[in-house]
Structure 1
Amino acid sequence: MQTLPYELLDWIYSSLDVPSVCRLYAAFPGHQFTVPAGAIICRTPIQVSHDVASDSIDFDTLSQLPPCEAQVRISPSSWLATADELNRVKPRHLSLVYHDEEFGIMGRPFWQVADLSRYHGQIHSLTFTDAVVEVERLPRTLAKLHLINGEVHGADKFHEFTQLEELFIHCENRRHQRLAIPPHVTRLRTSFDWMYLDHTRYNHEPDAVTDIPWHQFKYLHTEVVPKVKCLDNVEEWVINSPPPAKISLIDIECPKLERVTIEKGFYLGFLELSSVFTHQQMAQLTVLEAPEYIMPDVKLLPSLRKLAIATQEKVTEDMALPPQVEELSLYTDSIVVEGVPSQIKKFAINYAQSSHRRSSVNGKITIASCTLHSLTIEGGNFVSFVELCISCPNLHWLNMRLKNDRFIVDAPELVSVTYQGNCPHWFDTTQYPRLAHATLVPP
């Protein structure tokens, strides 16, 4: 490996899982061929735990890595030992993910079971799941804070967190607290009852918004569309709006909006783009993900590069798409694929919407493309195809979860394969000379 060029080594390491890259780097300290691995480690969050696991490394391995972000899961029972290990290793950026497995039974505050002051370094990010959190006790040096499915006390103290850039609150506001947005937060996710609370007591009318600093946000994740005239800096917006709520951004000026995700749930729906976006908004969108919506007018998005939508129509090479789309994900019950448009480099077909019932795709699924580099077929254990044929001479990444026992894969340039299903014998490594990573999992 010493003689391989940097670009090839980087490509090889990028095909591996992150823990494997970390262990390789630690096993060969100072070797030139580990330099690209070190670069990957420095820019990738590293999962760390006491337990030996395929998706994480231990603290001894962490101590041998270059400066990186360590993500560590903790619980009331593990925090004391974990804090001692962290004080020994002292990671450059530390992200703690806390879960109290007895939250629903005990309802105990986080501070009664895990005192953060035991760790002597700086905590960059905190995620609490199923915990009672007192904001006043949190370290003011946090850059990211996520609060999920627990209780928050003292939300009016958030304005003191001058270094906080990302705030996600996804739990009920049972005490009708006022949410004070810190001055440098650019990424915000809140549920309805936090966003629409005024200073007096409580008010669930959207017009009650008084002092939320919409101008400072670059990322929003909301349950409704706020009644504001302008979102000056929002670049990405995730809208989680269950039916029958109407989704429309037409009355809001969004000069920088480029990426939109619309989540709904439960069943397929139709969405006319012209009723959701202005012409200017449609012209500037580069990413649109609405996996539970059928959109008949997607060609109105001239700058779009990534598209994820539902469909009930047969997929062919002539499928109508925006001219610059290169990444396409389709969600469906039972459509047949006869071809992939030549402009697509990354394609995913997801039949998971049928997971509540067993079904079959009554036809041959043919995915033939000279331009496709990445392919995902998600059928789960509930959908089977009459026949599946993949013929992609330049395909590098293949991910399949299928019930099928009949399929053909002609892809000589495969580098990485992940397969879960009934037919592991289809895989013959001699057919794929460039293969660097393979994961075969029984159903």
Structure 2
Amino acid sequence: MPVTPVLTSRWKIPGIWSLETYERHDGYRSVRTALNTSPDDLIKMVKDSGLRGRGGAGFPTGMKWSFIPQGDGKPHYLVINADEGEPGTCKDAPLMMTDPHSLIEGIIVASYAVRANRAFVYLRGELIHAARRLRNATAEAYRAGYLGKDILGSGFDLDLVIHSGAGAYICGEETALLDSLEGRRGQPRLRPPFPATHGLYNSPTVVNNVETIASVPFIVNHGVEWFRSLGTEKSPGPKIYSLSGHVTRPGQYEAPMGTTLRELLDMAGGMRGGRQLKAWTPGGSSTPMLTADHLDVPLDFDSVMAAGSLLGTAALMIMDDTVDIVPVVRRLTQFYAHESCGKCTPCREGTTWLLQILTRMEHGQGDPSDVNTLTDACDNIFGRAFCALADGAVSPIVSGIKHFPEEFAAASTPRPATAAPGGASGNGVAKSSTNALAGAH
């Protein structure tokens, strides 16, 4: 399947991270166009393009921009969520590392559209090299007059701050990100009010993902119809898909929205070692797992939802037929238990109990009631927390039980302890596990 790259079109150009090289390849053209267009017309253009947020939720970008109240006398802010912490997700880091000016260009256009004079990039703390590239690119943009006072003589002012976080997954949630950016502990806020009216510093704020904002200059340069010619009717445009796991060539693959996993696997050289596909996540670890039966599901927001999962960040973690699903689910649950901010009880307590049960099951100390206990606990956690972290935590468990019930049934049957030489038990914990850990229910 021939694919014409858009977002990744400059990634292989030597030195594209420098302003000089970037300007030679159409760089900052959309800024000049945007500054000669009214902000309302820009918002309408993005709305008409059908661009949907690439950070996970898939909310229409132009609609989010239009929520910002105008003439309210308050400062407006644009915040870029670059806290890429979802397991399996690795699309924003190479974009910032390789082509940082494309993000800055999008930030200028978006800030002008929502009438923001200050923008922030909240960068995951571990992305040290991407942060260096982005800060260097920001300094170049200031020197060239693309940032700062009276940009290109337009009268529009914009300051850009690159802020590195401290490596907390919860700060990928937009309101927790805003609290962290303000210097407080990163915890999700109760909504309403929403960031559109009460965001950063209690002012109107737009929070967008890196890939979302990097798509905006292409819409301005090539037009709405061109953008809508890519992808599907309800999810138009190009998308960066991250393939990891048991594939021959893991990495980032750009394709139109609606591309199938079968097509992406062809681009990535197929399954590693020629093995069979067993399970995969369409949007990172927080999205329900799918199976080989879903190879031809179009990878757009609506089609993946209809198949019982979520596109999320389009982070496809591929697992072949050698994988035991229970340890995979246990490991993902351990991640969410560790990263829970602890603000709300369902997430703080629930993820810990889920992890304890799954750990026993993985170690052969399961109980016949474990599957029912897991299901009930997940039902009581889903939709009852401040943010989507808890929902993401139960997704691998619920989908694992749904698609691989026999593996969970086997793990919930206690295995006899192995006898060690001399007649002693080779597994002292398992010897009395049922009684000793009965309280874990």
TM interval, shorter chain, is under 0.3
Task: Compare relative contact order (CA 8 Å, sep 6+) and give the higher one, 1 or 2.
Answer: 2
Q: TM-score, normalised by structure 1?
A: 0.23
Bigger fraction of residues in helix = 2
Bigger fraction of residues in strand = 1
Q: TM-score, normalised by structure 2?
A: 0.23
